[in-house]
Amino acid sequence: MERTLVILKPDAVRRKLIGEIVGRFEKKNFDIAHLKVMNISAEVAETHYAHVKHLPFFGTMIEFITSGPVVAMIIEGNKVIQSVRSMIGKTSSFEALPGTIRGDYGSHDFENLIHASDSTESAEEEIKRFFPELD
């Protein structure tokens, strides 16, 4: 059984899309193993986005992800990482296909509703970062 971290970002929470998005994962028969509403600290955000620290929009990304509550989830299922990534669509909502979460609801490049781990390794690292109480 594979697991992944999914974060519904502040724009998804503000726009009241939590139920709609979680419902898509449930309809795919994935298990929501853990779910919590939280605020991401600047320190955690900077660690999470360290791979783009050199880019000019880094500060804006940190401001955005810390601007309000998020919903963090651990989702489990067969090939869940690949499936969830397909379900959410391309990073830029403008390039995401209709039928994907970003394609259906997104309207911005990095204020793009949702984050999902991209590999088994990043999933385990991100789960520890956002669910330290499970260690």
- HEC letters along the chain: CEEEEEEECHHHHHCCCHHHHHHHHHHCCCEEEEEEEECCCHHHHHHHCHHHCCCCCHHHHHHHHCCCCEEEEEEEECCHHHHHHHHHCCCCCCCCCCCCHHHHHCCCCCCCCEEECCCHHHHHHHHHHHCHHHC
Q: Residue ranges per domain, the chain?
A: 2-134
Q: What digits encode the pLDDT tens for the residues 46-65?
A: 999 999 999 999 999 999 99
Q: What digits encode the pLDDT tens for the residues 5-48?
A: 999 999 999 999 999 999 999 999 999 999 999 999 999 999 99
Give yes or no: 115 in active site. yes
Q: Which CATH class is domain 2-134?
A: alpha beta
